[in-house]
């Protein structure tokens, strides 16, 4: 069969994933990438645009130090480098060990212009934020690549925020290595512009006795596809990968997680809480692999969707591939609308229908926020969620 190449493929030699590829069956980039989105465009941002976007970050007051990337390039004048040792302006794209048969990574390797390279030693409670901004300009690809290394025994909280205005395709690849006995709490917030496309891949390798808590809020972009791979390389390690969707309009978000248990005595948990309104479509594909040597693995994943309209849709594809014989693994997925008994009970006590619904939705996503240890970050997310809910409030 001859497949006609898309404009983006013809112009930039790319090969976009499409629905015949199992992992991409719900997110056909040949259709969803609707324009050429040329890469490596130089866009000079007006300071007032940058300022407006900076102010719109939910974490404006939370982060201790912050690296700001504007249109794919580090902007030192907007950054607060305090805690961070950064290597400015260096393209890190190609010097990576992660496999490149992933289309998002291939594209990123070709197009990345900049990114953060962080090596964190010691322990800090103050969050470090990587903030990626896109200002309004002609449609283009903005690709960045980060390499984060948490050294032996270190502990850090890292925020990754994506904000923007206009039409663009953001491609973000992050490589994370957590060293022996280290801890990383990572919070990613995707609030790209309403017309943007967000493609991401995060590849995490975990050493011995590490703790990795990963949370992603997905609420921006018209099309979103986020891949996550977590490799367990050392025993006694715990990883919790959680997330929340708050989607409306015609938004499309697809998360593909691969949890790869390679060694014994590790624990993994995936918990996703997805709220979808209007014609939004959410997808959660979670795969847990337990290799032959990974005995005593404890791995569980769950995804829960709350559909606020009859036209919203949620697809879950949980998979377990177990090659070891002494493990505890499980998965569960639910999808439905608000519980009518709960609603009636709240209303019967005088809470008007719209408020009663908001309270129940906030409680539903709040269960995912509760997994975040940092109080300031949690509060910022609750505030964001309340704002989202007030924009999606209706009585019937």
Minimum CB separation of residue 57 from other proteins in Å reads 27
Helix axes 340-348, 353-369, angle to 10 degrees: 120
Residue closer to other proteins, measured from CB, 324 or 351: 351
| Residues in CB range of 119: below 8 A, 6 or more apart | 85, 149, 151
Q: Which span sits near other proteins by CB under 8 A: 119-127, 139-147, 169-177, 352-360?
A: 352-360
Q: Which residues from 206-265 bind other proteins, rule CB under 8 A?
A: none
Interface residue with other proteins among 322, 359, 373, 382 (CB under 8 A) is 359
Q: Using CA atoms, how far apart are residues 241 and 43, in angstroms rounded to an integer?
A: 35
Using an 8 Å Cβ cutoff, are 37 and 8 in contact?
Answer: yes
Q: Indicate whether 310 belongs to the interface with other proteins (CB under 8 A).
A: no
Minimum CB separation of residue 382 from other proteins in Å reads 13
Q: Indicate whether 350 belongs to the interface with other proteins (CB under 8 A).
A: yes
Interface residue with other proteins among 34, 80, 355, 379 (CB under 8 A) is 355
Quote the tokens at residue 47: 């300071």
Residue closer to other proteins, measured from CB, 341 or 375: 341
Minimum CB separation of residue 381 from other proteins in Å reads 15
Using an 8 Å Cβ cutoff, are 146 and 161 in contact?
Answer: no
**Residue 71 burial by Cβ neighbours in a 10 Å radius (0-12, 13-18, 19+):** buried
Q: Positive or negative CA dihedral for 147, 91, 132, 250?
A: negative
Q: Which span sits near other proteins by CB under 8 A: 92-100, 181-189, 341-349, 373-381?
A: 341-349
Q: Indicate whether 338 belongs to the interface with other proteins (CB under 8 A).
A: no
> What stretch of H or E contains 378?
helix 375-391
Interface residue with other proteins among 48, 55, 61, 340 (CB under 8 A) is 340
> What stretch of H or E contains 271?
strand 267-276
Q: Indicate whether 396 belongs to the interface with other proteins (CB under 8 A).
A: no
Q: Which span sits near other proteins by CB under 8 A: 28-36, 40-48, 190-198, 362-370?
A: 362-370
Residue closer to other proteins, measured from CB, 145 or 357: 357
Using an 8 Å Cβ cutoff, are 270 and 257 in contact?
Answer: yes
Residue closer to other proteins, measured from CB, 83 or 359: 359
Interface residue with other proteins among 11, 311, 363, 386 (CB under 8 A) is 363
Q: Indicate whether 349 belongs to the interface with other proteins (CB under 8 A).
A: yes
- Per DSSP, 126 falls in state S
Phi, psi at residue 369, to the nearest 5°?
-65, -35
Phi, psi at residue 33, to the nearest 5°?
-85, 90
Residue closer to other proteins, measured from CB, 111 or 364: 364
Q: Indicate whether 352 belongs to the interface with other proteins (CB under 8 A).
A: yes
* Site size with other proteins, rule: CB under 8 A: 21
Helix axes 375-391, 353-369, angle to 10 degrees: 150
Minimum CB separation of residue 362 from other proteins in Å reads 9
The number of C-alpha atoms within 13 Å of 374 and in the hemisphere containing its C-beta is: 25
Interface residue with other proteins among 43, 346, 373, 382 (CB under 8 A) is 346
Residues that bind other proteins (CB under 8 A): 340-342, 344-353, 355-356, 359-360, 363-364, 366-367
């Amino acid at each position: 069969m001859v497949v006609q190449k898309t404009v983006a493929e013809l112009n930039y030699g790319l090969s976009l994933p499409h629905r015949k590829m199992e992992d991409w069956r719900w997110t056909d980039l040949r259709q969803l990438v609707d324009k050429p989105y040329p890469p490596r465009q130089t866009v000079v941002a007006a300071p007032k645009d940058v300022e407006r976007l900076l102010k719109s970050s939910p974490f404006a007051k939370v982060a201790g130090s912050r690296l700001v990337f504007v249109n794919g390039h580090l902007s030192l004048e907007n950054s607060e480098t305090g805690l961070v040792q950064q290597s400015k302006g260096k393209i890190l794209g190609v010097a990576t060990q992660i496999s490149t048969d992933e289309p998002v990574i291939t594209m990123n390797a070709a197009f990345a212009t900049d990114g953060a390279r962080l090596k964190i030693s010691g322990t800090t409670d103050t969050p470090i934020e990587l903030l990626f901004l896109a200002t309004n300009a002609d449609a283009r690809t903005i690709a960045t690549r980060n390499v984060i290394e948490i050294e032996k025994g270190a502990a850090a909280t890292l925020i990754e925020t994506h904000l923007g205005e206009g039409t663009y395709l953001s491609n973000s690849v992050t490589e994370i290595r957590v060293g022996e006995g280290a801890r990383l709490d990572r919070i990613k917030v995707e609030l790209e512009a309403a017309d943007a496309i967000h493609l991401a891949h995060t590849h995490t390798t975990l050493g011995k006795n590490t703790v990795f808590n990963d949370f992603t809020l997905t609420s921006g972009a018209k099309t979103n596809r986020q891949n996550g791979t977590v490799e367990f390389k050392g025993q006694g390690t715990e990883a919790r990968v959680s997330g929340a969707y708050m989607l409306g309009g015609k938004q499309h978000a697809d998360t593909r997680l691969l949890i790869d248990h390679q060694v014994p005595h590790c624990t993994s948990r995936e918990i996703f809480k997805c709220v979808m309104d209007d014609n939004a479509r959410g997808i959660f594909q979670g795969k847990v692999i337990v290799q032959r040597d990974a005995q005593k693995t404890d791995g569980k994943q769950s995804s829960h969707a709350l559909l606020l309209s009859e036209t919203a849709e949620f697809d879950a594809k949980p998979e377990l591939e177990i090659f070891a014989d002494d493990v505890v693994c499980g998965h569960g997925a639910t999808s439905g609308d608000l519980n009518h008994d709960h609603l009636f009970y709240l209303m019967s006590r005088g809470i008007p229908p719209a408020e009663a619904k908001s309270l129940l939705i906030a409680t539903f996503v709040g269960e995912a926020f509760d997994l975040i240890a940092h109080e300031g970050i949690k509060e910022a997310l609750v505030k964001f969620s309340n704002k989202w809910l007030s924009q999606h409030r209706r009585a019937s």
